[in-house]
Structures are given as structure tokens and as C-alpha cells.
């Protein structure tokens, strides 16, 4: 009798997930190539470091707008159609970027357009995973694999993009981006099944109003709100040592060669933590460690108060990254807490909020480092973040103790959208 697959192998045994996984990897490749190529292209055309930096910023700033005002798309239309059209729209934008006649202002606007639809695409894909894999342990492992790919892209993507630009000009690299988005669309179109819209097609409510109503319903549920904040708050503080890697290397006087190591330590720890939790821990064990890990994941940053040398700093960052494994169990709680007809909007809001708070965290860390030593800023980020996490852990415990059954919560949210659930 053939042995049944275990761990992550169970997820890859699902044909539709393989298509989603491949499409995700291609989309990430396209985004990374476009970010590098556009930065080089804009700087080459203008000679302006500000505009070159703005090219990167425009990949993050529109997330809040798209995630808040367009999230209704995820539940109003069949998910496969939404995913394919988002990919095709991004391919079209990249194709216009690659045209020699496209001016700088248009390049930035097109970059912004891609970022605007990204939270809708990501939220729809996350919601679709629950259809493909169910809302149990397979979904948790599938989400983990997509996060691992995202973290791995941080380690290798920019290096590969830099090599690519030594072989082809920036506009030529953008043609590769067009191809990656187009192939991703084909994989999703022919590799996944057609499913009806969660909220029903043909709704009369305007898109923006529907999106805002969905956001209000999601944030109005005390339990869901606590879980969202557990997703958002630790990364908001965890970006501080990453964004300040170069200034910290300068503070230590160890040169720019160490910057890459400082920036890689967190994603390496995150990947290791995800792989261990996904392959070695049971679903029950992952649920048990959610709150302890969420409470402690920022504690290793306290070592920065002693201005640690490179080896100790790298160890602290890797350990903090490994603590992010709490998100595996949190994924399951979040899916269980959100009604099915609201799932696409909730996932889109989760994605948009995560990108937004990280941008806020980066900005605040950079501002603080103008007045205090980098080591002090990172240590305080760890301390303040830990206090916030402890408060959120307490709130998550309270809402878990008083939560209603999923079916009852679905009815309650549908019939009383204006009321906040007390959660116990």
C-alpha cells in the first residue's frame, strides 16, 4: 500500500494548489524584476535619487487604498476571474512600462496601478485557498508555503534581478515581467476550477460602499479585530532592524559588507521557523504556541540595548524571525473567525493592513534614528512592540473565551453589521 504524503507534501498533492503555487512564484518574480528595472530606469532617465526611491515606495503606498476601497471585488465576482484579470491588468501595465515612449510620470502611475490591485489579488487568492485546501490544516500549510516563497524571494530575488540587468536593458527586463504575469494568468485560468462569487454576483450596492461596509464588519468583530492586530503589530516593529541595517553596520564600524547579512537574518529565521512549525508540529501544537510566540517574538531585539556585535545581532534577528511561526496557527483562527461570505474582503484587508503598518514602521524607525542611536531605536522597538503584543495576547484570550459558534457569528454579522461583538 503506497505511503500517504505528510507535512507539506500533502499540500503539493493537491493539483490546484500546485498551479496557485507556481503562479505565486511567477508573480513574485515579475514584481521583483519590475521593481529593480523601474528603479534603474527612472534613475537613468532623471538622475534623481528621490524619484528612484519613490518608485519603490509606490509599491507599498497604494495598498491601503486598494485594500480598503476595492476589497469588495474579492467577494462580488468568481475568484478565478478576479485572479486572472488582476494578472492580465498587471501584465498590461508592465507592457506599457516597457514601451520606449512611456514618460517617467506614466511609469510611476503604472507602478502605482499594479500596487493598487495587488491587495485584491492577494486577498482573493488567500480566500480561494480555503476552497482548494479546505479551512483546516491543509490551508495553514498552503499559506505557510506561499509565505516561505515570499521570504525566499527577499534573499535571492534582488540579486538575480541585478544579474539580469547586466544582460538586458531595464525596458527589456520589463518584458520579462509581462511574460511572468501572463503565464501566471494562464496557470490560474487552466489550473484552478471555476467557483461562484462568495457574496453573489450582481449585487446592487456600489463597489466602494460594499468594500467599506465589509471593512466595517470585519473590524467591528472584536475577535477578528484582535487576530488582525496580531498579524499586523509584530511585523510593524520587526522591520526596524531591517530598515536600519546600514546605519547599524556604520554604528559598529564594520563596513557595508555586513548590511546584506543583517538584512538576510530575519527572513532566514522566518523561513526556518515556518518550515519547522509546518513539518514538525501538529495542528494542535501550532495552536498552542500562537500566543506565547506572538508575545515573545520581539524580545530578542532587546539585545540591541547592549550594542551587540555582528554575530550576536544576527542570532537575535534570526531568533526574532523564527518567532513569526506563530502565524501558522493564527491563520487557522482567522479563517474560523471570519464568515465565508466576508472571507475575500477580510483577507484583502489583512494583506493591505500588513503592508501599510510595515511602511509606517519603517518610516517611524527611520525618523527615530535621526535623533537616537540605531541600537537604542531597535531596542525600544522591541520593548514597545512586546508591550503591545502582550496586550493583544490578553485580548485574544478574552475573545477566544467568549466567542460564538461560527454559524451564529455569521448570522449575527449579517443581521447586525452596525454592532460590535463583545467577544466575552
Domain residue extents for the chain: 1-194, 207-418
361/365 Cα distance (integer angstroms): 6
The whole-number pLDDT of residue 382 equals: 95
The whole-number pLDDT of residue 264 equals: 84
The answer to whether the 1-194 and 207-418 domains have the same CATH topology is yes
The whole-number pLDDT of residue 53 equals: 64
What's domain 207-418's architecture?
Up-down Bundle (1.20)
**What DSSP string describes 301-314?**
GGGGGG---HHHHH
Please state which CATH number belongs to domain 1-194.
1.20.1250.20
Please say whether the dihedral angle defined by the alpha carbons of residues 189, 193, 198 and 203, taken in this order, is positive or negative: positive
Do residues 305 and 256 lie in contact, with contact meaning Cβ atoms separated by under 8 Å? no
Local structure of residue 421 (DSSP, 8 states): B
Task: Report the 10 Å Cβ neighbour count for 205.
Answer: 12
The whole-number pLDDT of residue 169 equals: 85
- What pTM does this model have? 0.81
**Which residues have CB under 8 Å from 260's CB, separation 6+?**
none
Grid cell in block for residue 182: 501572463
Percentage of the chain beyond pLDDT 90 is: 33
Longest dimension (CA), the chain: 66
Low-confidence ranges of the chain (pLDDT < 50): 1-2, 202, 404-424
Amino acid at each position: 500500500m503506497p505511503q500517504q504524503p505528510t507535512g507539506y507534501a500533502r499540500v503539493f498533492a493537491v493539483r490546484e494548489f500546485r498551479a496557485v503555487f507556481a503562479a505565486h512564484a511567477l508573480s513574485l518574480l515579475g514584481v521583483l524584476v519590475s521593481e529593480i528595472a523601474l528603479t534603474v530606469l527612472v534613475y537613468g532617465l532623471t538622475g534623481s535619487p528621490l524619484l528612484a526611491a519613490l518608485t519603490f515606495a509606490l509599491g507599498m503606498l497604494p495598498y491601503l487604498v486598494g485594500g480598503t476601497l476595492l476589497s469588495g471585488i474579492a467577494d462580488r465576482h468568481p475568484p478565478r476571474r478576479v485572479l486572472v484579470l488582476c494578472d492580465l491588468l498587471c501584465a498590461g501595465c508592465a507592457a506599457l512600462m516597457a514601451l520606449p515612449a512611456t514618460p517617467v510620470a506614466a511609469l510611476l502611475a503604472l507602478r502605482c496601478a499594479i500596487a493598487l490591485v495587488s491587495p485584491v489579488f492577494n486577498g482573493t487568492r488567500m480566500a480561494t485557498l480555503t476552497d482548494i485546501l479546505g479551512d483546516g490544516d491543509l490551508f495553514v500549510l498552503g499559506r505557510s508555503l506561499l509565505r516561505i516563497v515570499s521570504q525566499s524571494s527577499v534573499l535571492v530575488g534582488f540579486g538575480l534581478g541585478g544579474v539580469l540587468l547586466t544582460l538586458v536593458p531595464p525596458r527589456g527586463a520589463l518584458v520579462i515581467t509581462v511574460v511572468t504575469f501572463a503565464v501566471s494568468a494562464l496557470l490560474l485560468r487552466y489550473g484552478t476550477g471555476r467557483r461562484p462569487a462568495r457574496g453573489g454576483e450582481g449585487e446592487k450596492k456600489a463597489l466602494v460602499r460594499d468594500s467599506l461596509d465589509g471593512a466595517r464588519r470585519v473590524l467591528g468583530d472584536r475577535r477578528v479585530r484582535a487576530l488582525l492586530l496580531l498579524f499586523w503589530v509584530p511585523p510593524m516593529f520587526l522591520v526596524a532592524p531591517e530598515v536600519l541595517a546600514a546605519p547599524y553596520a556604520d554604528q559598529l564600524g564594520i563596513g557595508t559588507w555586513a548590511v546584506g547579512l543583517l538584512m538576510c537574518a530575519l527572513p532566514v529565521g522566518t523561513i526556518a521557523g515556518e518550515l519547522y512549525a509546518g513539518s514538525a508540529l501538529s495542528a494542535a501544537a501550532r495552536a498552542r504556541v500562537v500566543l506565547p510566540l506572538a508575545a515573545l517574538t520581539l524580545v530578542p531585539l532587546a539585545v540591541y540595548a547592549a550594542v551587540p556585535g555582528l554575530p550576536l545581532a544576527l542570532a537575535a534577528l534570526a531568533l526574532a524571525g523564527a518567532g513569526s511561526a506563530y502565524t501558522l496557527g493564527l491563520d487557522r483562527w482567522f479563517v474560523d473567525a471570519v464568515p465565508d461570505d466576508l472571507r475575500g474582503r477580510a483577507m484583502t484587508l489583512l494583506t493591505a493592513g500588513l503592508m501599510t503598518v510595515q511602511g509606517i514602521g519603517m518610516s517611524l524607525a527611520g525618523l527615530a534614528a535621526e535623533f537616537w542611536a540605531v541600537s537604542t531605536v531597535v531596542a525600544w522597538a522591541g520593548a514597545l512592540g512586546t508591550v503591545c503584543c502582550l496586550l493583544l495576547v490578553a485580548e485574544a484570550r478574552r475573545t477566544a473565551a467568549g466567542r460564538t459558534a461560527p454559524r451564529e457569528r455569521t448570522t449575527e454579522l449579517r443581521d447586525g453589521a452596525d454592532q460590535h461583538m463583545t467577544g466575552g
